[in-house]
Amino acid sequence: WPHRYLAGTATDARTVLCVLTHDAKFDIPLLETALRLPVAYVGAMGSRRTHLDRDGRLREVGLTERELARLHSPIGLDLGART
């Protein structure tokens, strides 16, 4: 599981994390772990709709506003897609 790997990996203020999966069972635990680490950047791929859903789930697991504000999402190219 990605969140377990991340928890056991050395990170610091130069670490950049980008979540590219499209499955909440991986995304939520991984982002919960990542947003509580002192890393430089945390980003997640997905549509704006996915980001709103993800934001709600991260709130449910207890992330603070400060932690949530560190999440850059959606990342990637703006293709102008309508979802």
State the Rg of the chain over Cα: 12
The answer to the question of residue 66 being in a domain is yes
Three-class SS of the chain = CHHHHHHCCCCCCCCEEEECCCCHHHHHHHHHHHCCCCCCEEEEECCHHHHHHHHHHHHHCCCCHHHHHCEEEEECCCCCCCC
pTM for the model stands at 0.86
Residue 83 clears pLDDT 70, i.e. is over it = no
The answer to the question of residue 81 being in a domain is no
The answer to the question of residue 7 being in a domain is yes
The pLDDT of residue 11: 96
Structural domain tally of the chain? 1
Burial class (CB in 10 A: 0-12, 13-18, 19+), 51: middle
The answer to the question of residue 43 being in a domain is yes
The arithmetic mean of pLDDT across residues 15-31, rounded, is 92
The answer to the question of residue 44 being in a domain is yes
The answer to the question of residue 83 being in a domain is no
The answer to the question of residue 80 being in a domain is no
Residue 64 clears pLDDT 80, i.e. is over it = yes
Band (pLDDT 50/70/90 cuts) for residue 53 is: very high
